[in-house]
Structure 1
Amino acid sequence: MVPTAPASLPPLRQDLQLHAGPPDTGGAPSWVLHDPVAHRFFEISWPAFEILSRWSMRESKAIVADVCTRTTLHIGTEDIEELWRFLEQNFLLDQHGPEHTARLQRAGSMHRMGKLSWVLKHYLFFRVPLFRPTSLLNWLSPRMTWCFHPMFWKLLVFLGLAALVGVSFQWDAFVGTFVAYAGWTSVLGIVVSLGFAKVAHEMGHALAAHRHGCRVPQMGVAFMVMMPVLYTDTTDAWKLPSRKARMQIAAAGMATELMLAVVATWAWMWLPDGPARAGAFMLATTTWVLTLVVNLSPFMRFDGYYLLSDAAGISNLHERAFALGRWKLRRVLLGWSDPAPEELSRRATGLLIVFAYLTWIYRLVLFLGIAFLVYHLFFKALGLLLLAVELSWFVVMPVSRELSLWWQGRSNHRWTGASILSTAGLLLGVLALCVPWPRGVQAPAVLSAEQSQWLFAPMAAQIKQLDTRHGHSVSQGQTVIGLTSPDLEQRLAAASVRERSMQWKLAQQPLNADLLGLGPALREQWAAAKAELTGQMALRDQLEVRSGISGRVTRVAPGLQPGVWVRQGEPLVQVVADGPTRIDAYVVNEDMPQIQVGDTARFVPEDWRFSAVNCQVGSLDRVALPHLEHAFLGSPHGGPLPASVDAQGLTVPLHAVFRVRLDRCDGEAAAVLQEKPGVVVIGSSSRSVVGDWIGNAVDLWNRESGL
């Protein structure tokens, strides 16, 4: 039952303050009602202002008659009752007595949090005031008036454009600046510059608010999920009647950092290398870009939100957009015919609804990102707990509150076509998630020949002969590429001369007293020279690059032709043997229990021009792979398997991965000229999506918590 206003209206609180506000979207005047106790601001319309200015008359009929007589407005007692309910709900009336005290106690108990809720809320967000800047602003403001002069900003724009022109002449040095700074002194300069930029950002807000006559009660640091963020309390800006002035206060922080960026760009061009130049580079690039990216977003209550709110002339932008978004959602999904939360034009209503949905999507992505960042910042058990807290507070709780309202409102609404379709869709979705479906195990795989070989350059050499091309047949032992190395030929000639010289000396030893005195050592020297010659000749034989298998040439390194130099170890040609093929699937540890030898499998190549291949599981590795044989399946090379590259250049999987070998493939895999990546589906075990989620969550908890 909606309460009605009493015959004699209660008085207003004496401490309330009324300020002129900006015109609304229709051009009508508005006012701002300030509650100094709760430090809350309420924007009221022209009719509400006229009623409040006559509230001392205490009689609804008298107020209605006076407003209708003295103004062009036409109001009724229902307008006074609506305003009275608003004043009473927000405790703006001067009321006393047990009933009023009980209402205050109930309101306090509703907002009173338990110890656990208090801890969670203050973990997610809390403020630490550091100082009251009034004295500093009183001293600093007269000395900074030049910052607010239009001519200063015109000059700053000119200097910024000139700085960009100057940097363009040193662009290579500019973009390479950050990479060059790796010492601790440069890191110190970067940290100092970042801190200075953020302090200047907040001081810009404070100076702009002070210039417009607003009180700045405190400045400090706020912690959002334990991440420190400086803040300035400029709530008094709501008292300003000019939206332009509010926008200047909201934009002052970003404008300050842009000013610093221009100065820092000029400083970078003149400073020598060192910490100061590293800090100037950060101020000229990263700090203001990050500031614009974060603060210009209207989806969080940062500077961009207040700029958009004042530019559009819509106070409480988020709350009003969210109310319309929820109303539209209920109308579409449930068919509820409740009136809109407020009457706006069709275009404004549509824009606010779209804005609400974009904000929800943005916040969902942001909160999920923060949750997983927190998970990785702490040790795993605590990270999992904090991950659950983040997801519960920011995602699960808002959704559950809305669903609870839907459930509570079911008795006041009839079933409609929309609600029937939504309920059926929800049930089908839950059923699809919970019912086990025959899906099998999916894993990345590679189809290749049973035997293949890459031929590499044994040393740095020049191509002498190249008769083979892609698709040519070669036999085992056949020379595929002939190489020559002038350096090797020189060493071989020198070794041959030494060997012949030692052989001659050995033959002359019985006839020469000096050689005879060398004794058996001369024969050992000849043996060493002969071994060196044999080794050099073996190296020359390696320059004849031969195939170790019979097959066909499937790949030839680009640019190979006679006269081209190749480096040692450079891959030159790949030879694939004719005959059977193989398919290697890479299966994660969680899926291995579902695979048995003999299970059917189907390989689907990534290249749609090739047909799928039906096989069976031939063998299973019982030991996790130390590295991936097919490195291109690892994430460092764009593959699907999370991996890293070690010091030896091997691709090492980050989680346990096992190889499953498939055989007895059908005729489509008879001829493979090159490796074909794809996806294999093994078996047809039935699994539900929810079961997978629960299993993965349990495995994650057991693995990360050490249980």
Structure 2
Amino acid sequence: MDAGTLGAQLVSSHWYRVAGIAPRLRDHLRLHAHRYRGQPWTVVEDRLNGKFHRFDAQAWRIMGLLDGRHTLEAVWQQLASEADEATPSQDDILALLGQLHGMDLLATDTLPDLGEVGDRDHRQARKRRWSKVMNPLAIRVPIFDPDRLLGRLVEWLRPVLNRGGALAWLLWVLPAIVLAASHWPELTHNVSERLLALDNLLMLALLFPLVKALHELAHGIACKMRGGEVHDMGVMLLLLLPVPYVEASSSWAFPRKRDRMLVGAAGMLIEIAIAAGAFYLWLWLEPGTPKALAYDVAVLASVTTVLFNGNPLLRYDGYYVLSDAIEIPNLAQRATRYWGYLFESRLLGRRDALSPAMAPGESGWFIAYAPLAFVYRCIVMFSIAIFVATQYYAIGMLLAVWSVGMTLGMPLYKGLGRFWSLVVAREAGRRGQRAALAVLGALLVLLFAIPMPLRTQVNGVLWLPENAIVRAGQRGFVEQMQAQPGQRLAPGQPVLNLVEPVLAAQRAVQQARRDTVQIRYDAAVTVDPTLAAQVAPALARENQVLAHLDERHERLVVRSGASGQLWLPASEDLQGRYMRQGQVMAYVVTPTAPRVRIIVDQVDENLIRAHTRRILVKVPFDPGRAWPATVVRAVPSASRDLPSAALGRQGGGGVVTDPRDDSGRRALISHFEYELALPDDFPYHLIGSRASVRFEHDMEPVGYRLWRSVRRLFLGYFHA
């Protein structure tokens, strides 16, 4: 490249406006030298507002010359005399000066533009107000300066704030983890009702600030121990619940990442130790209020730490620890910007798009972190909303709406705003505009125009037809077996007899009452026909009651409903057993193909009932073949009873069962039951074996399917 071309790139047409200004960095700034991934950086601490700004070596090369004595022209001449491939242009200097001015880091001898200063203050105030709406944690109320108190605490605790203390922490926590695993069923049994009961919520509201006060105090002690300053302690509103906070952001200036990681992890370490102590108390105490308090503390100090504070996918303590460990500050924001950079540079073809990846290895972290954090944030927020909605519907609905707005609505709004500026405002140029419109059109066609296969997969069990299941037609005790296991039966053939003494007595009493009324009626017919007409309705009623009792008596004879071989489980224990009406007593194994009994979630029932064009069934012992099936029976009402325990989690199936039901045949949520007929050439008669059933529906674009999935989510969990 010749000197003329190079000079044209380095010189700005606006330079003459600022060449005579001699700016300097403000006096209240404190500078800290850091290294990230082997590269030098300078962290500028603004001691007036507690903000921190990070600049790379190229930016600091310019900032280090801003001393208030040299004009920008002199600064430029010095940089030009040291020209190399990294020499900044005049436009680069102007851009950096604009950023420093926006951060309020520059001071000059000229009078400030009061109008511009007022506008900037107004924008910052509006941004602070909006952040309070977006984030409940932003509402903070400072109370006092804890720096001196924390200094005394550090002196008192210094004998244990060392490797010996770390070893003691391990010896305290590790046994609790092992014991918690062995008592896991007791800890998790009926957890939602135990935690969300109204009286327990009041205890949680009192315990949560206390646990978090120790958490925040640990941050402050760790920060003070490593030479930082903590001048702000107060209360913040977390979903309208007052929670203590400590401002330990001075740790961001620590040059060693190990010190920054320790400050970030201190709160989690103390909470885990508290959870271990509460768990030991829970094991030792007898049932009662103290044991419930210990359980609440253990859950608060462990679950919140693992799911929230300790998880780097949420922007809490674990996030900052990870950022320091991998030496990538501002990981979340830069990861989101990197995906935007990929969109603009790869899809829109913008050559001037700037990548936020500034060191080797950062791009891989950016590609993985942004989608993982987004998905996890959605899962956590919706899970909390669903968990709360099971006990408090209105609060759960508000949380769900707020979750949708924060996790989906705001990113979509920002993305559309950026798309508008790139395409409609033509910031991306004509080529980028055409590329963006092509991508948008392809996405819309993919979502709403191209039909895609639509299927619903459910589990089933091979079972007998309903008429081949021998049930007790009337409650009673087994008196006599009229058929033996393995015997061939015909439809209507007796299998066994039941006896019901109460029914026999009722029938005898009713027979006597009917005979009495019959005698009165016969006598009245010959003497007084008018009296006989008055007695006739009473006689009809008595005959009707007797007929009903006779019908129940007939049902004491249990008969086969189909032809086949009798299968009578535990026949030697049947004699004298009491049977409830409708209880299954035996089975008739028919020579025809078995039926497939399945259960369908309520959210899938309408799709299966109205939009199924083919049904295929596979069995696990012959996975290479699928048999067609047809629906022969559909239970019209929802139920929680499973047709077989094999469909429940305890039996190896996929349906979540009620832990309070020992039989494993009671589902947690209601479902619909279907019975499917297999073709006659189906060769397997393994009654009770699981089967996989696939309902194939009409093809449908993905967009409509996503909308229906969201709607089903609200219908299924919020009944909205």
- TMscore range, shorter length: 0.5 to 0.7
2:306 pairs with one of 292, 307, 310? 292
Mapped contact 1:611–1:668 kept (Cα < 8 A): no
Q: Does 1:60 align with 2:77?
A: no
Q: CA deviation at 1:7?
A: 0.9
Mapped contact 1:602–1:612 kept (Cα < 8 A): no
Q: Distance in 2 between matches of 1:701 and 1:190?
A: 28
1:452 pairs with one of 465, 468, 489? 468
Q: CA deviation at 1:6?
A: 0.8
Mapped contact 1:441–1:591 kept (Cα < 8 A): no
Partner residue, 2:528:
none
Q: Does 1:211 align with 2:222?
A: no
Q: CA deviation at 1:306?
A: 1.3
Q: Which amino acid aligns with 1:425?
A: A
Q: 1:611 to 1:625 in 2, by over 3 A?
A: same
Q: 1:156 to 1:400 in 2, by over 3 A?
A: closer
Q: Which amino acid aligns with 1:207?
A: I
Q: Distance in 2 between matches of 1:314 and 1:407?
A: 30
Q: CA deviation at 1:358?
A: 2.2
Q: Could you list the per-position Cα deviations for residues 290-309 of structure 1 after superposition, in whole angstroms to 9, with x for gaps in the alignment?
A: 41342222222211111122
Q: Distance in 2 between matches of 1:174 and 1:68?
A: 69
Q: CA deviation at 1:253?
A: 1.0
Q: CA deviation at 1:198?
A: 2.8
Partner residue, 1:429:
446
Q: 1:612 to 1:653 in 2, by over 3 A?
A: farther
1:474 pairs with one of 489, 513, 537? 489
Q: 1:48 to 1:117 in 2, by over 3 A?
A: closer
Q: CA deviation at 1:361?
A: 2.7
Q: Distance in 2 between matches of 1:238 and 1:114?
A: 23
1:7 pairs with one of 19, 22, 29? 19
Partner residue, 2:379:
365
Partner residue, 2:341:
327
Q: Which amino acid aligns with 1:24?
A: Y
Mapped contact 1:25–1:313 kept (Cα < 8 A): yes
Partner residue, 1:41:
52
Q: Does 1:148 align with 2:161?
A: yes
SS in 2 for 1:147: coil
Q: Could you list the per-position Cα deviations for residues 2-33 of structure 1 after superposition, in whole angstroms to 9, with x for gaps in the alignment?
A: 964711235346453122232232253x3322
Q: 1:129 to 1:565 in 2, by over 3 A?
A: farther
Q: Could you list the per-position Cα deviations for residues 174-198 of structure 1 after superposition, in whole angstroms to 9, with x for gaps in the alignment?
A: 9758879989999998887665433
Partner residue, 1:574:
587
Q: Distance in 1 between matches of 2:612 and 2:368?
A: 49
Mapped contact 1:449–1:673 kept (Cα < 8 A): no
Q: CA deviation at 1:356?
A: 2.5
2:368 pairs with one of 346, 349, 354? 354
Mapped contact 1:581–1:670 kept (Cα < 8 A): no
SS in 2 for 1:57: coil
Q: Could you list the per-position Cα deviations for residues 215-248 of structure 1 after superposition, in whole angstroms to 9, with x for gaps in the alignment?
A: 3233344445557655322122223333222222
Q: How does 1:638-653 map to 2 (within 5 A)?
A: none
Q: 1:353 to 1:91 in 2, by over 3 A?
A: same
Q: Which amino acid aligns with 2:468?
A: S
Q: Distance in 2 between matches of 1:179 and 1:643?
A: 13
Question: Which TM-score applies when normalising by structure 1?
Answer: 0.68
Partner residue, 1:519:
none
Mapped contact 1:8–1:59 kept (Cα < 8 A): yes
SS in 2 for 1:22: strand
Q: CA deviation at 1:249?
A: 0.9
Partner residue, 1:31:
42
Partner residue, 2:403:
390
Q: CA deviation at 1:102?
A: 3.5
Q: Does 1:22 align with 2:34?
A: yes
Q: Which amino acid aligns with 2:42?
A: W
2:258 pairs with one of 222, 231, 244? 244
Mapped contact 1:474–1:547 kept (Cα < 8 A): no
1:94 pairs with one of 96, 99, 107? 107
Q: Distance in 2 between matches of 1:158 and 1:578?
A: 66
Q: Which amino acid aligns with 1:474?
A: L
SS in 2 for 1:301: coil
Q: CA deviation at 1:205?
A: 0.6
Partner residue, 1:406:
419
Question: Which TM-score applies when normalising by structure 2?
Answer: 0.67
2:324 pairs with one of 304, 310, 323? 310
Q: CA deviation at 1:580?
A: 10
Q: CA deviation at 1:312?
A: 2.2
1:199 pairs with one of 213, 216, 219? 213
Q: Which amino acid aligns with 1:54?
A: L
Q: Could you list the per-position Cα deviations for residues 393-451 of structure 1 after superposition, in whole angstroms to 9, with x for gaps in the alignment?
A: 32122133224323432443454898687456313213337x7x997999999885251
Q: Distance in 2 between matches of 1:388 and 1:219?
A: 32
Q: Which runs of 5+ in 2 are unaligned?
A: 1-11, 502-552
Q: 1:103 to 1:668 in 2, by over 3 A?
A: farther
Mapped contact 2:336–2:370 kept (Cα < 8 A): yes
Q: CA deviation at 1:344?
A: 3.4
Q: Which runs of 5+ in 1 are unaligned?
A: 492-538
Q: Could you list the per-position Cα deviations for residues 440-493 of structure 1 after superposition, in whole angstroms to 9, with x for gaps in the alignment?
A: 999999885251224689999999999635xx743457787999xxxx9xx9xx
Partner residue, 2:560:
548
SS in 2 for 1:321: helix
| Larger deviation, residues 144-153 vs 636-645 | 636-645
Q: CA deviation at 1:264?
A: 5.2
Partner residue, 1:603:
615
Q: 1:273 to 1:250 in 2, by over 3 A?
A: same
Q: Distance in 2 between matches of 1:565 and 1:267?
A: 52
Mapped contact 2:216–2:246 kept (Cα < 8 A): yes
Q: 1:2 to 1:658 in 2, by over 3 A?
A: farther
| Larger deviation, residues 104-113 vs 626-635 | 626-635
Q: Distance in 2 between matches of 1:159 and 1:702?
A: 46
Cα RMSD, aligned residues only: 6.0
Q: CA deviation at 1:325?
A: 2.5
Q: 1:241 to 1:460 in 2, by over 3 A?
A: farther
Q: CA deviation at 1:257?
A: 2.6
Q: CA deviation at 1:121?
A: 2.8
| Larger deviation, residues 645-654 vs 293-302 | 645-654
| Larger deviation, residues 73-82 vs 243-252 | 73-82
Mapped contact 1:603–1:681 kept (Cα < 8 A): yes
Q: Percent identity?
A: 20
Q: Distance in 2 between matches of 1:618 and 1:272?
A: 55
Q: 1:662 to 1:702 in 2, by over 3 A?
A: closer
Q: 1:564 to 1:132 in 2, by over 3 A?
A: farther
Mapped contact 2:640–2:669 kept (Cα < 8 A): no
Q: CA deviation at 1:58?
A: 3.0
SS in 2 for 1:201: helix
Q: Could you list the per-position Cα deviations for residues 152-174 of structure 1 after superposition, in whole angstroms to 9, with x for gaps in the alignment?
A: 2234434556x569x86x99789
SS in 1 for 2:328: coil
Mapped contact 1:555–1:574 kept (Cα < 8 A): yes
Mapped contact 1:628–1:653 kept (Cα < 8 A): no
SS in 1 for 2:164: helix
